[in-house]
Amino acid sequence: MITTHFKKASLSIVLFFTSFAAFAAPVNDDCASATLLSQTSFCSYTSGTNANATQSSFASTCSGTADDDVWYKFVATGTSASITVQGSSDFDAVIQLLTACGGTSLYCSDNSGYSGTEVISASGLINGATYYVRVYHYSPYSSSTNTFNICVSTVATPGNDNCSSATFLSQSVSCNATSASSYGATSSGVSAGCGGNTDDDVWFRFTATSTNTTIKVVGSSGFDAVIQLFYSCGGSSLSCADASLAGGTETLATSGLTEGVTYYIRVYDYYAGSTSNSTFTICLTAPLPSPPANDNCANAISIGGTSCSAVTGTTAGATTSAFASGCAGTANDDVWYKFVANGPDANVSVQGITNFDAVVEVLDGCTGNSLKCSDVTAGQGLESFYLSGLVNGNTYFVRVYDFYSSNNYSNEFSICVALHGPLVNDECNNAILLPVTSSDNNLTSGTTDGASQSTALSCNGNSDDDVWFKFIASSDKDSILVIGGNSFDAVIGVYDACGAIALTCADNSSYGYAENAYLTGLTVGHTYYVRVYHYYSGSGSTPLFAISVYNGSIITSMNGSYATNKLALYPNPATSELHMDLSAHKNEVMIEFFDVQGKLVKKETAISGNNVVISLDQLLGGIYTVRVLSDGLSSTGKVVVVK
Tens of pLDDT along 362-373?
Answer: 999 999 999 999
The count of residues in the chain is 643
pLDDT for 465 equals 84
DSSP letter assigned to residue 347: E
Q: Whole-angstrom Cα distance, residue 392 to residue 467?
A: 19
β-pair partners for 95: 109, 135
User: How confident is the model at residue 486, as a pLDDT?
Assistant: 66
Residue 21: the pLDDT is 41
pLDDT category at 631 given cuts 50, 70, 90 is low
For residue 12, what pLDDT is reported? Answer: 41
Domains of the chain in sequence order: 31-153 (2.60.120.380), 163-285 (2.60.120.380), 297-419 (2.60.120.380), 428-555 (2.60.120.380), 561-641 (2.60.40.3080)
Residue 561 has pLDDT above 50, yes or no: no
Mean of the per-residue pLDDT values for the chain? 84
pLDDT score for 7: 32
Stronger pLDDT, 300 or 510, i.e. the higher one: 300
Question: Percent of the chain having pLDDT more than 70?
Answer: 89
- Which of the listed ranges 17-26, 143-152, 613-622 does the model predict with the highest average pLDDT? 143-152
Residue-level pLDDT at 558: 29
The three-class DSSP label of residue 505 is strand
User: Can you give the pLDDT at residue 215?
Assistant: 97
What is the average per-residue pLDDT within 549-553? Answer: 68
The candidate with the shortest Cα–Cα distance to 297, out of 315, 322, 275, is 322
Q: Please state the rounded mean pLDDT for residues 334-338.
A: 97
pLDDT at res. 597: 58
Report the distance separating Cα 174 and Cα 113, nearest Å: 32
- In DSSP terms, 361 is beta-bridged to 373, 399
pTM: 0.47
Residue 39 buriedness (CB in 10 A; 0-12 / 13-18 / 19+): buried
Helix (H) or strand (E) holding 550: strand 544-551
pLDDT at 559: 32
pLDDT at 410: 62
More confident residue, 158 or 16: 158
Mean pLDDT, residues 594-610 taken together:
76
Q: What number of CA atoms fall less than 13 Å from residue 624's CA on the CB side?
A: 28
Query: How high is the pLDDT of residue 620?
Result: 80
What pLDDT band is residue 359 in, cutting at 50, 70 and 90? very high
Quick: pLDDT tens for 440-458. 667 787 888 777 788 766 7
- 29-38, 61-70, 506-515 — most confident range: 29-38
632 pLDDT tier (thresholds 50, 70, 90): low
Q: What is the pLDDT of residue 461?
A: 86
> What pLDDT sits at residue 512?
62
For 229-242, what is each residue's pLDDT tens digit?
A: 999 988 889 999 99
Tens digits of residue pLDDT in 246-299:
999 999 999 999 888 999 999 999 998 777 789 999 999 988 778 899 999 999
- Give the per-residue pLDDT at 259: 82
* Residue 365 half-sphere exposure toward CB, CA atoms < 13 A: 3
Q: How many CB atoms lie within 10 A of CB 19?
A: 9
Give the pLDDT score at 626: 85
Of 179-188, 338-347, 441-450, the least confident: 441-450
DSSP 567: B
Q: Of residues 130 and 615, which shows the higher confidence score?
A: 130
Per-residue pLDDT at 379: 73
Q: Identify residue 305 by its one-letter amino acid code.
A: G
In eight-state DSSP terms, residue 124 is S
**pLDDT at 223 (0 to 100):** 94
Confidence band, pLDDT 50/70/90 cuts, at residue 1: very low
Is pLDDT at 378 greater than 90 in this prediction? Answer: no
Point out the least confidently predicted range of 56-65, 78-87, 548-557: 548-557
- Does 22 score more than 90 pLDDT? no
The secondary structure of 11-79 as a DSSP string is HHHHHHHHHHHHTPPPTTSSGGGPEEE-EESS---EEEE-TT----SS--SSSS--TT-EEEEEE-SSS
81-103: average pLDDT: 92
Identify the band that residue 566 occupies on the pLDDT scale cut at 50, 70 and 90. low
401 phi and psi angles, rounded to 5 deg: -155, 165
Q: Answer yes or no: are the C-beta atoms of 431 and 425 closer than 8 Å.
A: yes
- What's residue 83's pLDDT? 95
pLDDT at 635 over 90: no
90: CB partners within 8 A, 6+ apart: 114, 115, 143, 144, 145
- Residue 126 pLDDT: 95
Average pLDDT over residues 298-312: 88
266: nearest Cα among 228, 239, 234, 223:
228
Does residue 584 contact residue 554 with C-beta atoms inside 8 Å? Answer: no
What letter represents residue 208's amino acid?
A: A
